[in-house]
Structure 1
């Protein structure tokens, strides 16, 4: 079976997904592309022999679309996710699932009405080899339980349209989710500290930030978000356990040796750093759709990350005050 995929969002992330599905993965075919910029949708669709639409609603209604991949801006995700679910179609939605808790709850409600898990959220780090090796060390129990988790998310630069809020809802959300994934528990409270700002930022941006969170069992998480670090895209993580530590390995596969010494090249973007993780994520989703099964992170994971984001933004807006994370009780549907 070939899964006929409809792509909503013809921007950079959408085009990257087209490239991997068409050139690197098996079992899927892009049959339709939608974008509010119809010309952009057409430009992506025509070389594939796919149909172009001006809205996600039109694409979801296409009977030849088996499953939907959403790669638009986060604030417009929710309506298309709900439409896809109501149409009974599996959907892989790039993070965030939605940018507000009420929108996430609407998605949870719509999905539960179908009686079937249809939504996967694009938290691709869950497929990264290094993070999975870290998780295995923790779950094996051989080094005891977790006490601390140190995270670093560093971008070379960001566009002028990027905001301080985006440092949390677009960037730190990755560490929020991977912390939940690694530790296997929810985040209970959070605060955001504002260090001395770098001169390399746009004037409107508070950069860097440090998000400090505490899980239900008391594990302390610190996440440096530093989006104008200049030298490259660098993701770091160290898990501290009772009898040892485990950290992500070097991000690169090669080492350059010359008169300046030994050094690694540095990735320039998340597309480079998490290429393999993206591929594994989308491949697993395609194969699961073939079997009429859900795979990967759930709509609950999307909701859980969003409510932590909400608390972090509230902290940022209130001088770094610690804020409790307000969550509904987890429905048995997502157990």
Structure 2
């Protein structure tokens, strides 16, 4: 597929779907959005008209179309597994937003189909792997700059959530990023996980638990803690510190201008994930396109989506039992090693 323009179909034309379409159109030179689908037909029709694409009657019809080379799945969480599986069966490249599926069994079935196709076809939407701060941290760890990593302290703080938010979403939609990026930084899988109860914020606008404190232990004994604040925070703020034997690594704030005025020093913080990680989203899709053309995807894989799903299940179980829960993964298929 070298040097060929990649014809992309996008399933799901909500906020994140529209952002991806904009990137694929104006940032990634190797791609052209030629097809869209959304369960709200009017939304799909409007997007199709704006980007000179075809609106399809169903996601499955879009996936099977000979006019589509690769697919972006940005629909509701409960539909991801079905669309991703259909892409794999059609031997088509697919970029799937998190979560990959609602059950580990669905992930296992996808890995079985992908392995039979003989090459990686799916990339997960874990964009932090392309954020320059996390990339620099990963490089420093691998080059031994802080000695062996011992711990990670991190936080994921949000100003608000959309109506209908639930306690489990703090793990499956929010902390899922920390689940993946911590595995990636340390190059290890989890042994056990736990959710600890903490004093609840009066600023929470719904009836879900907020904040939550999540703990991980890797197979090699490293400990990770993640403060997940889903509502009422002062800003959208992502924090990460890796503690090593010989030093620490701190994720830099993205702000570049420090203001000094009125006897104060300050700098701005973001209010939304889209602005904080805009550059990493760009790099993620540029990498996806290059990976398709070279038949060598480099982003998070189906295995990573599976590991995150199993870990999420164990965390939800821990919150219910009040005890640490084991993370039990299947043997990793050769295609993902």
Give the TM-score category using the shorter length: over 0.9
Equivalent positions of 1:123-142 (< 5 A) are 123-142=126-145
- Matching of residue 106 in structure 1 with residue 109 in structure 2: yes
Match of 1:242 in 2: 245
Equivalent positions of 1:2-151 (< 5 A) are 2-151=5-154
Match of 1:190 in 2: 193
Aligned pair in 2 of structure 1 residues 293, 135: CA closer, same or farther (>3 Å)? closer
Normalising by the residue count of structure 1, what TM-score does the alignment of the two structures yield?
0.97
SS of equivalent to 1:117: coil
Q: Offset at 1:22?
A: 1.4
SS of equivalent to 1:83: helix
SS of equivalent to 1:164: coil
Q: Residue 192 of structure 1 contacts residue 212 of structure 1 at CA under 8 Å; is this kept in 2?
A: yes
How many residue pairs match? The answer is 334
SS of equivalent to 2:310: helix
Match of 2:323 in 1: 321
SS of equivalent to 2:84: helix
- For residues 332 and 292 of structure 1, the distance between their equivalents in structure 2, rounded to whole angstroms, comes to 17
Q: Residue 205 of structure 2 contacts residue 231 of structure 2 at CA under 8 Å; is this kept in 1?
A: no
Unaligned 5+ runs, structure 2: none
SS of equivalent to 2:217: strand
Equivalent positions of 1:160-175 (< 5 A) are 160-175=163-178
- 1:46-74: CA deviation from partner (whole Å, max 9, x where unpaired): 11110112321011011110000111122
SS of equivalent to 1:207: coil
Match of 1:289 among 292, 316, 333: 292
Match of 2:236 in 1: 233
Cα RMSD (Å) of the superposition? 1.1
Q: Residue 160 of structure 1 contacts residue 202 of structure 1 at CA under 8 Å; is this kept in 2?
A: no
Moved over 3 A (4+): none
- For residues 2 and 221 of structure 1, the distance between their equivalents in structure 2, rounded to whole angstroms, comes to 42
Q: Offset at 1:292?
A: 3.0
Unaligned 5+ runs, structure 1: none
- Matching of residue 311 in structure 1 with residue 314 in structure 2: yes
Match of 1:206 in 2: 209
- Matching of residue 301 in structure 1 with residue 304 in structure 2: yes
Aligned pair in 2 of structure 1 residues 260, 164: CA closer, same or farther (>3 Å)? farther
Aligned pair in 2 of structure 1 residues 264, 54: CA closer, same or farther (>3 Å)? farther
Aligned pair in 2 of structure 1 residues 258, 111: CA closer, same or farther (>3 Å)? same
Normalising by the residue count of structure 2, what TM-score does the alignment of the two structures yield?
0.97
SS of equivalent to 2:71: strand
Match of 1:274 in 2: 277
Q: Offset at 1:311?
A: 0.2
Match of 1:259 in 2: 262
Q: Offset at 1:256?
A: 2.7
